[in-house]
Amino acid sequence: MSTPEPDRPTPRKPRAPRRAPAHVAPPPPPRPTLADEPPLICRLEREVEEAFRPQMRAALEQKVAAVAGECEATLPACPACGQPMPRKDARRVTWLSRFGRVAARPARYCCGPCGQTRRPLLDALGVEPGRLGGSLARVLALLGVVVPFELAARLAGLLLGVRVNPMSVWRCVQRLGEAGGRYDAARSGYHADSRSEPTHVACPPDTVVLGVDGCHLGMQVRRRRRRFTSPADRRVPLPPVDAERFREVKTGVLFQGHERCEASPGRRSVVRRVVVTYLGDADGLFRRLWARLQELGWAGPHTLIVIVGDGAHWIWNRAAELFPRRCEMLACWHAVERAWEVARLPCGEGSSQGVRWAHRLARDLRAGQVEAVIARLCTLRPTSPEARKKLADLIRYYTENTARMRYDEYLRLGYGIGSGAVESAHKQVVHARLRQAGMRWSEVGAQRLLALRIRLLNGEWDHLDRLRLVPVAA
């Protein structure tokens, strides 16, 4: 009997290779579109504003007319001879306000023998014919203090619905800044007089920290002075611009010792501070600092003034003249920064050896071991002439400021050892507005803008409502 053979699998035909499906491109994304109209609430708000703006302008003109009637009740006296001035005419004048262009007919009085002319209505309102005035000028100045003048003009159209050019914003900043600068100069002169009376407070602070530093600002360099068409245009003389391309803006920050708080682990901030800045000599800065201390009532007979500086002699010399009870401190950051310059030369940038050496020196300085650090630096023997010079400068820098580097004691008393308050003030006052790309300033223009910017940062912008705009040359 034969054995059946096992079933063999039927050979399959080789499959044809699969064809890759043709690539189908995804559909393009839909084009983004804007809505046909703004939201309904925005349209309603704009309709209400456009409907009531003429009414507000008319109401303002009525109030101006009422003030004009009060001003015309009596004849003004001539500022030169003191005699009553007869009325000459009443011409129509206009100025731009937040509600639009306002028109009025102020009476004009002239003194024939003296040639003096007065318009009491415009003097009472504090406006100039054809100019921006009132709250609009102050709002435009606020925008010009925060952002460049071109952007401020665009923001005025978006926020206020008023179309102005950048030159109008610049002029508002100049007029209001000149008024603020004159007030600061007068206040400094008043408190510099020994007969002036300081502000008395019930409990003067025990400790006031004063940080002082300077930063450079790019200045305009003109070959010749700006020309004017007539002598009347030169309202405020512009000083000539010298060949210096950079000037130092000196800044001082005042705050009480107990107003330092730890905002986050390892990071401290100041609850309240007062910023004083000046583009000029050191005497002008310290006169303004002394005036602010007197105004705040922080210069009591038992108040200790802690002066934090970078080692510049002009800081210590002026502080010694003004503050008999003082504590001079060299900012720890500046002391360690000089050490890093020495560490980079022999070890190279980012070397682990140099980093360890600098960190050890910083720990010793914070521990108050200044003499030990100086002794250790004297034992170093750098090879390159540049390194030897840097080391000698560092040793001399530490030796001259040994008495100002008791950082362990300062930390125990709660004074702080850094200069972060004044460095932050530099960035907020100067860098953020006056040191943008390509900016160059005249001395007068920078001083006026700084006078307004420190008022904004000190929370004193409302003080400008009580200052009259000063006519300045365009």
What is the tens place of the pLDDT at every residue in 73-91?
A: 888 899 888 889 999 999 9
Task: Kindly tell me the burial class for residue 49, based on how many C-beta atoms sit within 10 Å of its own C-beta (0-12, 13-18, 19 or more).
Answer: exposed
Q: Cβ(405)–Cβ(335) under 8 Å?
A: yes
**371 has pLDDT over 70:** yes
**4 has pLDDT over 60:** no
What's the per-residue H, E or C state across 105-130?
CCCEEEECCCCEEECHHHHHHCCCCC
**464 has pLDDT over 80:** yes
Whole-number pLDDT of residue 277? 95
How many other C-beta atoms lie within 10 A of the C-beta of residue 76?
A: 18
How many other C-beta atoms lie within 10 A of the C-beta of residue 337?
A: 12
**238 has pLDDT over 60:** no
Whole-number pLDDT of residue 209? 94
How many other C-beta atoms lie within 10 A of the C-beta of residue 287?
A: 22
What is the tens place of the pLDDT at every residue in 155-211?
A: 999 998 889 999 999 999 999 999 999 999 999 999 998 888 878 888 889 999 999
Q: How confident is the model at residue 104 (pLDDT cuts 50, 70, 90)?
A: very high
- What's the predicted TM-score (pTM) here? 0.84
Q: How confident is the model at residue 5 (pLDDT cuts 50, 70, 90)?
A: low
Q: Which of 187, 173, 228, 231 is nearest to 442 (CA)?
A: 173
Q: Walk across the sheet containing 108-111 and list its strands.
A: 87-89, 108-111, 116-118
**Mean pLDDT in the chain?**
87
Task: Kindly tell me the burial class for residue 312, based on how many C-beta atoms sit within 10 Å of its own C-beta (0-12, 13-18, 19 or more).
Answer: middle
Whole-number pLDDT of residue 364? 92
How many other C-beta atoms lie within 10 A of the C-beta of residue 297?
A: 16
Please calculate the CA angle 70-76-82 and round it to the nearest 5 degrees.
160
Distance between CA atoms of residues 367 and 369, nearest Å: 6
Distance between CA atoms of residues 95 and 319, nearest Å: 48
Amino acid at 320: A
**223 has pLDDT over 60:** no
As a whole number of Å, the CA-based R_g of the chain is 34
Q: Cβ(105)–Cβ(95) under 8 Å?
A: no
**15 has pLDDT over 80:** no
Residue pointed to by tokens 């600068």:
181
Distance between CA atoms of residues 298 and 290, nearest Å: 10
**409 has pLDDT over 90:** yes
What is the tens place of the pLDDT at every residue in 115-129?
A: 889 999 998 998 888
Q: How many CA atoms lie within 13 Å of 435's alpha carbon, on the beta-carbon side? A: 15
Whole-number pLDDT of residue 74? 87
Q: Which of 310, 360, 367, 316 is nearest to 335 (CA)?
A: 310
Distance between CA atoms of residues 48 and 42, nearest Å: 10
Q: Cβ(390)–Cβ(342) under 8 Å?
A: yes
Alpha-helix runs per DSSP H in 348-406: 352-366, 370-378, 385-400
Distance between CA atoms of residues 332 and 415, nearest Å: 12
Whole-number pLDDT of residue 265? 76
Least confident of 194-198, 274-278, 449-453: 194-198
Whole-number pLDDT of residue 429? 93
Distance between CA atoms of residues 250 and 241, nearest Å: 19
Strands 116-118, 260-264: parallel, antiparallel or unpaired by DSSP? unpaired
**Quick one: tokens of 124?**
């009472």
Three-state secondary-structure class, residue 371: helix
Cα dihedral 171, 177, 183, 186 sign: negative
Whole-number pLDDT of residue 456? 95
137 or 194: whose pLDDT is higher?
137
Distance between CA atoms of residues 378 and 383, nearest Å: 14
What is the tens place of the pLDDT at every residue in 45-76?
A: 989 988 999 999 999 999 999 999 999 888 88
